[in-house]
Amino acid sequence: MNFDLNCPVCLQPLSGDSKHLECPNRHCFDAAKQGYWNLLLANQKRSKDPGDNTEMVQARRNFLALGHYQQLADTIAARVAGTAIEQPATRILDMGCGEGYYTCRMQQQLELSSGEYQLAGLDISKHAIKAACSQSKTITWMVASGARMPVADKSLDLITVLFSRLMAEEFCRTLKPGAELLIAYPGEDHLIELRNLIYDEVRHSGFNPATVLGESFEHIATEPVRYHFTLPDQTQISQLLAMTPHGWRINQAARERLAELSQLELTLDVCLARFRRI
């Protein structure tokens, strides 16, 4: 294990090796055969199998492997590496990491820099974390709740939250004073062409992470990442639809409209917001 973890039961430090962890109160955890740590307690689950299921994870893997989001992933990784260079022995947590696509891009970029770092990925879906393990064996992967992260107080130098729910209280607890938070969230025009085909009325969220984070965080900057890409066939259109929440909400008439398309031109519009823990 190359990342300091805390017991999810009592929040005492976990110690051990790559196969077994134990806290001073004798709460024990064994690594799964794939190499990840399951630190999600039964009372932290709102369902029997929380988070993305196997089909959702595979759909996202299939689409992301096509490379349409690689420019976004490379930009995120560059910002993470830039922060790590300024901080020796940086501890980075990718919260809501899913199947690890962006986390692994971070690792690749961090390896090119000369700084020492520790990188972990956390997600509530065991299916996503199992998939992440197949992409990298050196990142610390864990199944855990973002609302109660098994990480020590004021121990992290950077948390990335990419298209995931903001847990302001936990970010505040686990980040060191002066540490950073990098948030990726959809801009108003993200996949606007797809949304126009699905919905009779497209509503803009007007989302502002500063209103969620509160006074414990200082906004540093927000960077737009915007470009166009083309899905050349029905297979890729279906893969994208399966990856997004729009696939759960689409009605039959909209599904039939999409089925008639031979290709689809799309806009990627994502905001990268940086905050500092005060």
**Rounded Cα distance, 160 and 143, in Å:** 16
Spatial neighbors of 87 by CB under 8 A, at least 6 apart, are 115, 157, 158
For residues 143 and 151, what is the distance between their CA atoms, to the nearest angstrom?
Answer: 13
pLDDT digit string (tens) for 176-235? 999 999 999 999 999 999 999 999 999 988 999 999 999 999 999 999 999 999 999 999
Q: What DSSP element (H or E) covers 269? A: strand 264-277
pLDDT at 105: 98
How many angstroms separate the Cα of 65 from the Cα of each of 43, 99, 234? 35, 12, 16
pLDDT at residue 1 is higher than 70: no
Q: What value does the mean pLDDT take over residues 112-117?
A: 84
Question: What pTM, to 2 d.p., does this model score?
Answer: 0.95
Q: What is the pLDDT of residue 172?
A: 97
What's residue 200's pLDDT? 92
Do residues 188 and 270 lie in contact, with contact meaning Cβ atoms separated by under 8 Å? no
Buried b / exposed e along 79-116 (16+ C-beta atoms within 10 A): bbbebbeebeebbbbbbbbbbbbbbbbbbebbeeeeee
Q: How confident is the model at residue 113 (pLDDT cuts 50, 70, 90)?
A: confident
Q: Rounded to an integer, what is the distance from CA 258 to the centroid of its chain?
A: 28
* pLDDT tens readout for residues 2-47: 578 999 999 999 999 989 999 999 999 999 999 999 999 988 876 7
**Token code pair at residue 24:** 């001073």
Q: Is 260 helix (H, G, I), strand (E, B) or coil?
A: coil
What local confidence, expressed as pLDDT, does residue 2 receive? 59
**What are the structural domain ranges in the chain?**
15-277
Please state, in angstroms and rounded to a whole number, the distance separating the CA atoms of residues 236 and 233.
6
DSSP string, 88-148: TTEEEEEET-TTSHHHHHHHHHHHHSS--EEEEEEES-HHHHHHHHTT-SSSEEEE--TTS
Higher per-residue pLDDT: 2 or 278: 278
CATH for 15-277 is: 3.40.50.150
Give me the mean pLDDT over the 88-110 stretch.
Answer: 96
Q: What is the DSSP letter of 150?
A: S
pLDDT of 114 higher than 80 = no
Report strand pairing: 156-162 vs 175-186: parallel
For the chain, give the percent of residues with pLDDT over 90. Answer: 86
Residue with tokens 């959702």: 56
Q: Are 95 and 146 in contact (CB under 8 A)?
A: yes
Percent of the chain with pLDDT strictly greater than 70: 99
Tell whether the model's pLDDT for residue 262 goes beyond 70: yes
Q: How would you write 187-217 as a 3-class SS string?
A: CCCCCHHHHHHHCCCCCCCCCCHHHHHHHHE
DSSP class of residue 66 equals T
